[in-house]
């Protein structure tokens, strides 16, 4: 779902949207590999929203909760001008699962360079993540 939550036109379209998503995942030994893909279209048809995203993810789990990871989010705005449609980041980082008291936590840092991007998008991005985990 795409919700009209922007407070400024530079932050997104003030429109409702919906689409389809699919995910695949496999875990083999220390490897976790998968892919998440989706496309969203505007619901009411008065704007041209047609946005695609694809996030592949690769984790290699190591000892003591450490892991190497890469999970860039590739996007395409099918309504954008030629040469301005795709954002394609390449990179990765490191993470660790640990406890704060009894609470399991996942923290990670990733750096990405955009090998393809629209003119208004930066050359690189950083993702820092801190997650509380609630296993069964």
| pLDDT at residue number 7 | 85
CA 61 to each of CA 33, 95, 97, 117: distance values in angstroms, whole numbers, following the listed order: 11, 9, 10, 31
Task: Give the position of tokens 């704007």.
Answer: 47
Answer yes or no: is 36 within a domain: yes
Q: Are 6 and 14 in contact (CB under 8 A)?
A: yes
Number of separate domains in the chain: 1
Q: What pLDDT does residue 135 have?
A: 87
For residue 107, give the 3-state DSSP assignment. Answer: strand
* Average confidence (pLDDT) per 10 residues, the chain, 136 residues: 84 85 98 98 84 97 98 96 97 98 97 97 97 94
pLDDT (0 to 100) of residue 47: 74
Query: Quick check: is 1 in a domain?
Result: no
Q: Is residue 72 part of a domain?
A: yes
Domain that holds residue 48: 9-132
CA distances from 95 to 4, 49, 60, 98, 100 (A): 33, 35, 10, 10, 15
Would you say residue 41 lies in a domain?
yes
pLDDT of residue 115: 98
Evaluate whether residue 45 is within a structural domain: yes
């Amino acid at each position: 779902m795409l919700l009209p939550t922007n407070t400024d036109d530079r932050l997104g379209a003030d429109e409702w949207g919906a689409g389809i998503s699919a995910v695949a995942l496999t875990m083999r030994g220390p490897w976790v590999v998968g892919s998440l893909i989706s496309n969203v279209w505007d619901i009411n048809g008065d704007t041209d929203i047609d946005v695609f995203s694809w996030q592949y993810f690769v984790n290699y789990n190591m000892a003591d909760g450490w892991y190497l990871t890469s999970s860039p989010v590739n996007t395409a705005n099918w309504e954008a001008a030629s040469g301005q449609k795709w954002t394609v980041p390449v990179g990765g980082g490191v993470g660790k699962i640990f406890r704060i008291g009894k609470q399991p936590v996942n923290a990670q840092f990733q750096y990405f360079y955009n090998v393809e991007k629209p003119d208004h998008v930066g050359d690189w991005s950083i993702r820092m993540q801190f997650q509380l985990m609630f296993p069964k």
